[in-house]
Amino acid sequence: MRPSLVISAFSLVLVSSTGAARSPQEAVAEVIPVVQSKRTTAAEPVQRPPRFRGGPTSFTNNTAITITDCPNPCPASGQAASLYPSPIAVSGLTGVVENVSVTINGYSHAFPADTDFLLVSPSGRKSVLMSDFGAGSPGVSNINITMDDYGPRPIPSTVTGNTGVPFVTGTYRPANSGTTDQFPAPAPAAPYTYTLSAFNGEDPNGTWNLYVIDDANLDGGSISGGWTISFDNRPTPPAAGDILITEFRTRGAGTTPPASDGSADEFIEIYNNTDQSITIIDAIPGADPTSPTGAGWRFAGAQGATETTFLVLPQTLSTAGPLALPPRGHFLISTQPTTPSPAGNTYSLATYPTGTGITASGSANVSLNPASAAVGFFPDDVGLAVFSTANALTANRLDSVGYSSVTNADYKEGTGLGPAAGITTAGQHSWVRRLAGGVPQDTGNNLADFVLVDTTGGTLDGVAAVLGAPGPERGPTMTAYTTTSAPLDRFTTIPAELLDPGATSISAPNLVRDMTPVTNGALGTVKIRRKFTNNTGLPIVALRYRVYKIPTRTGGTVPAGQADLRVLNSPTQTITLTDTTTVTAQALTLQTPAAQALGGGLNSSLAEGVITTTAPLANGASTYVEFNLGVETDGAYRFHVVAEGLTVPP
């Protein structure tokens, strides 16, 4: 079960400009944190226990290896190590390889990215496990590194985005840069694969060879304890509910020319709904990623009863190693035609959110090039499904969402979305999965679980859209954790408290009602101030706050008795507390694109731009912010946000 959650939630009745309260009961309502109980409701996913593997069968060659520094000039094939290859004879195993890992024992090198490792199986399959990754100076000393496709994080790189990520004893996913690696004979020549899953399905018995080279001058190293190869069962594959489609659209605003209908302006966002890393590897044990069809996950679209389009997301999109979704992390697929027709009919949200150095282009640079950029990849009346196999197998369906016209049970859950023909209006809108207590809602009913948001808050093709914005989120990539990735949801580890514990939740400075009219606040503003503390255990290098409950314009109107609030920017400011001390509230900026001329709403996000890779929020440190809400109509309201923080992995 999920532990108790403390989510920032506010409930208060706004008084009108005349100062009259709406009712005695409403007038005494307080702004209080909402505590989510441990009970799991039907609207909340059950948290599965951590996955554990059985004990591995291991074989070791403990002969030390000297990693000789490459001479100057260094040949293209590098300098072979003192034991080349280092062999391990495997015998007595039954069955085929399901999961194999390699441990380097006592690894030392002044510049680890100079070291290349090539593993060759008894049958001759060959995979580069590490090359041009591992970071640089000051190097590593006598660490033990295990390379496993199911590792929690990739081997750190030397790029700017990974500055500060240590390379220490632990388990990592293989990582490599480029396809130009060469190993001197007797190592087999390229082409190579770049995952350990490349060995799935073959007989493990026989001699496995590890080839180690140094491919740059100036630094050398050693492997004092040799190496170990381990064979094990694959981890339990993800099940339905572990992976969720959390946001999507089949067309958007488009770009120039003005006649563009936005039909290629598409994206699909998925979410790891567990507390464990999930590797995008075919769920079928023994699946062979070296075969022509490969192994991976299937993203498919259906119309009516028939699947009409699909793509297989391979377990590795390049030589940079296996793809994985971190705990509570996202993965984004976006349509980005390289030669769009009509010109400019492209994905418009690649730079969301601006101002933080974090983008929402497709995760791991996934780009779809539809056969016709004028109509996009997915049809408007689509049913979307994600399968944890390269084939559309019902037993391995992870999640689905579709319009009401979809009749194939694998491509829709419960009652479908409306209208039957899909949203065909161009604009900055998307279907967003609702949050319940700060976690994605998954009742098995698409109509109940998803809401349409739009920057106009109008009616689109007969559907009343809530004022808000699309907010596609991508996950960290192999080569850059902090410059092209999205913050992770942090439900319990970035808790909110009153900015001033000496005052009540409805009194200054914790809450201030200002009657001065502003743009998108005809009746003034309400300012809610809170303190957030980093309890993640790691430095936070990007922090934002996503709105998941707010009363605002819906279908062009506001329900009677409900407030109409708009999320606005807030400035950096000094706030005096009741004990006369002061704190600095940091500025919050509404993130774009999409432009939100009417103010922010549901699914809008606010960035705390002062927190960056060079000025992180340390573990245990706190920050103070103000949520500045424009009041267009007064009335009762509840305002909920989730803090999303990106941490540099340990």
pLDDT tens-digit map of 375-408: 567 889 999 999 999 889 999 999 999 999 999 9
Q: List, in order of start, the domains of the chain with CATH numbers.
A: 5-39+493-647 (no CATH), 57-232 (2.60.120.260), 243-467 (no CATH)
In whole angstroms, how far apart are CA 155 and each of 129, 150, 167, 304? 10, 12, 7, 44
The pLDDT tens digits for 314-369 are: 887 777 778 888 888 898 888 765 554 455 557 888 888 866 667 777 775 565 54
pLDDT at 460: 97
**Rounded Cα–Cα distance for residues 179 and 90 (Å):** 29
In this predicted model, which residue has the larger pLDDT, 157 or 62? 62
pLDDT at 166: 82
In this predicted model, which residue has the larger pLDDT, 482 or 567? 567
Cβ contact 398:388 at 8 Å: yes
Give the mean pLDDT of 471-487. Answer: 74
The torsion angles phi and psi of 198, rounded to 5 degrees, stand at -60, -20
Question: N- to C-terminal Cα distance for the chain?
Answer: 26
Give the mean pLDDT of 553-559. Answer: 93
Q: What is the 3 state secondary structure string of 408-437?
A: CHHHCCCCCECCCCCCCCCCCEEEEECEEC
Residue 286's pLDDT band, with cuts at 50, 70 and 90, is low
The pLDDT tens digits for 526-547 are: 999 999 999 999 889 889 999 9
In whole angstroms, how far apart are CA 20 and each of 10, 14, 234, 386, 504? 20, 9, 65, 52, 21
**Rounded Cα–Cα distance for residues 527 and 511 (Å):** 6
The pLDDT tens digits for 131-154 are: 988 888 889 999 999 999 999 888
Number of H helices and E strands in the chain, helices first, is 2, 44
In this predicted model, which residue has the larger pLDDT, 582 or 53? 582
Q: Which pTM does this prediction carry?
A: 0.88
The pLDDT tens digits for 14-70 are: 433 333 333 222 222 222 222 222 222 233 333 333 333 446 899 999 999 999 999
What are the tokens at 100? 């194999």
In this predicted model, which residue has the larger pLDDT, 218 or 90? 90
Residue 178's pLDDT band, with cuts at 50, 70 and 90, is confident
Average pLDDT, the chain: 84
Where helices occur in 390-514 by DSSP H, the ranges are 446-449
What are the tokens at 92? 């007595």
Please give the angle made by the CA atoms of 359, 362 and 366, to the nearest 5 degrees. Answer: 145
The set of residues, in sequence order, having a beta carbon less than 8 Å from that of 451 and lying 6+ positions away, is: 431, 432, 434, 466, 602
How far is CA 464 from its chain centroid? 29
pLDDT at 153: 85
Give the chain's length: 650
The set of residues, in sequence order, having a beta carbon less than 8 Å from that of 402 and lying 6+ positions away, is: 302, 382, 383, 384, 411, 412, 413, 416, 417, 446
